[in-house]
Amino acid sequence: MARRLGESFWGDFFSLCVAVPRAMKVTFINLFRRPVTVHYPDKTRNYPDRYRGLLALTYDKETGEENCIGCRLCEYICPPQVIKVEMLKAEKRNFAKVFTLELYACEFCELCVQVCPTDAIIMMKSFDMSTADRRELLLDKDRLHQIGLQFEPSWATGNLLRDMQTPPKAPKAAATEPAAAGPAPKAGGAAE
Amino acid sequence: MIMDAVNAFVVAFVVLNVIIGMVTYVTLLERKFAARMQSRIGPYRVGPHGLLQPIADALKLMMKEDVVPRAADRSVYNLAPIVFLVPCMLIFATLPFAPGLGIADLNIGILFFLAVSAMEIVGLFMGGWGSNNKYALLSAMRAVNQIISYDLPFIFVALVPVLLAGSLRLSDIAEAQAGLWYAAWFPLGTIAFLFYLLTTLAAENRVPFDILEAESELIAGFRVEYSGMKFALIQLGEYAHMIATSYLGALLFLGAWAGPGSDGSPWVGALWFTLKAMFVFLVVTWIRWSFVRIRADQILAISWKFLMPAALLLLMATAVVVALQGAPGG
């Protein structure tokens, strides 16, 4: 068992004499390391692909239409309930008549992105939206679309996330093969 | 006679202003140094590489509102920063920066230095008492406790070079080290230098001996109620004291102005002296940023149970060696 502090003076003194240079060595080595600081407004870090930043709405790349169909799934799943959507029924597909997002209360949990069936709401690789007026953080549909065009999008979209998370299906050929090749006793018995 | 007085006044004025300028820039040096120790950059935005940061800080402090707590003892509260600052500035009076370059080379220079630097505790306690704040009062009581405990070993350690040089005059001590710096006089001088660094830390109330301004317990300690210019004066006093003890350490143990080219011009000597003082200051800062704060009882135990007897023994051993062999290096 290790000696406890205060048991012997010279033991403490010796361990102090060892510990002090050791601690000072650590800071001395640090003195010559490159600082880890990134000069933020001048330089930005490379954000990771799954960065969860500002929220935005997207347009369809081919047709240029809005992706949002006003299904209100994001509104239902949102834990702090910052999203409000009203649906606009139309002939071919539906649209969001109103889409507001109160960014000042958003907790950036990405659940809205995960549930979105049409990849309409995504997150951006940026958090750069500081303002002196809180009202500017109440984002309407136009603002959200504008953010989507302004910043670099993060990797995650609803469909990509769902594809990633569903268990891999066995390919069709592999699933039928064993049944044909070998006699599966139970299945065979039932068939007879 | 009058010309002498005017001359002394002009020199004192120049030294005072140089020191105030140095103090402001030493804060930048410390912040940069501390930042690098933590793999940061430190002040960077004001001016190139943050070089104008101390000026910005000073301007900010001057423009700040001066808040006096309603329950404060006004006269004591208002007087404390000045009482604190004056001794801290006064100790530069005896420091010879180079041969012939200084305000007053007293023949009891080191005694004056130690006596006056111990007087800052009066202003400190006045500030802590006058603020009428429990944190400030606790801090002032701790400060008295600590500074009284550490002044004794500090003085004993500072007496080692006095014994070796055989003079209380600071310039004599500096010149006696022409052959050998006392810090290099192994083992007694080296141990004395280490003890000097340790007691300096405590005398300047720096981590790991900073119980009187322990941020997590006492916020800012005795100056918690001070703001604006009064706060600036207290900060100035603290840093001036720090620089003065660094200079004294460089003078007592590192050969003061000795260095290449210092024989020709006193200004080169003064530069060497300043560089050595900054070395002592940086070592102290290095210790500061390497350790955590220790408890009040541990601080007192280190002082009374270890440093005090050890410093006495060191002094006696030095005296014996000097009596038997004569002083080293000369």
* Domain residue ranges in chain A: 55-165
* B2-41 residues touching A, CB cutoff 8 A: 33, 35-41
Among B66, B214, B222, B229, residue whose Cα is nearest residue B132:
B222
Contact A30 B39 (CB under 8 A): yes
Between CA A2 and CA A63 the distance in angstroms is: 73
Contact A26 B38 (CB under 8 A): no
pLDDT at residue A77, as a whole number: 92
pLDDT at residue A79, as a whole number: 92
Query: B121 with B147: CB under 8 angstroms?
Result: yes
3-state SS class at A98: strand
Q: How many CB atoms lie within 10 A of CB B81?
A: 23
Of A20, A30, A39, the CB nearest to B37: A30
Sketch the domain layout of chain B as residue ranges: 69-325
Query: B123 with B237: CB under 8 angstroms?
Result: yes
Between CA B303 and CA B297 the distance in angstroms is: 10
pLDDT at residue A173, as a whole number: 61
Query: B258 with B178: CB under 8 angstroms?
Result: yes
Judged against a pLDDT cut of 70, whether residue A112 lies above it is answered with yes
Tell me the pLDDT band of A3, cut-offs 50, 70 and 90: low
Residues facing A85 on adjacent strands? A99
Percent of residues, chain A, with pLDDT higher than 90: 7
A14 touches chain B (CB under 8 A): no
Between CA B79 and CA B45 the distance in angstroms is: 36
Residues facing A56 on adjacent strands? A122
A17 touches chain B (CB under 8 A): no
Residue B295, classified by CB atoms within 10 Å of its CB into exposed (0-12), middle (13-18) or buried (19+), is exposed
Contact A27 B41 (CB under 8 A): no
Of B37, B41, B306, the CB nearest to A31: B37
Between CA B34 and CA B31 the distance in angstroms is: 5
Judged against a pLDDT cut of 70, whether residue B92 lies above it is answered with yes
Q: What is the pLDDT of residues A129-188, one digit of tens each?
A: 888 888 888 888 888 888 888 888 888 888 888 888 887 776 766 555 554 444 444 444
Query: A108 with A89: CB under 8 angstroms?
Result: no
Of A23, A36, A39, the CB nearest to B290: A23
Average pLDDT over residues A31-60: 86
**Chain B residue numbers touching A37 (CB-CB < 8 A):** 39-41
pLDDT at residue B43, as a whole number: 87
Question: CA of A30, closest CA in chain B: separation in Å?
Answer: 5
Under CATH, which architecture does the A55-165 domain have?
A: 2-Layer Sandwich (3.30)
3-state SS class at A134: helix
Query: A157 with A116: CB under 8 angstroms?
Result: yes
Q: How many CB atoms lie within 10 A of CB A128?
A: 12
Lowest mean pLDDT among A3-12, A88-97, B65-74, B295-304: A3-12
pLDDT at residue B94, as a whole number: 84
Please, what sign has the CA dihedral across residues B79, B82, B85, B89? Answer: negative
Q: What value of ipTM does the predicted structure carry?
A: 0.70
Lowest mean pLDDT among A18-27, B1-10, B117-126: B1-10
Nearest residue on chain A to B45, alpha-carbon basis: A39
Q: What is the pLDDT of residues A156-172, one digit of tens each?
A: 888 888 888 887 776 76
A37 touches chain B (CB under 8 A): yes
B286 touches chain A (CB under 8 A): yes
CB pairs under 8 A between A and B: 33
Of B41, B286, B287, the CB nearest to A35: B41
**Chain B residue numbers touching A43 (CB-CB < 8 A):** none
Report whether the peptide linkage leading into residue B99 is cis, meaning its omega lies within 30 degrees of zero: no
pLDDT at residue B313, as a whole number: 92
A31 touches chain B (CB under 8 A): yes
Question: CA of B74, closest CA in chain A: separation in Å?
Answer: 39
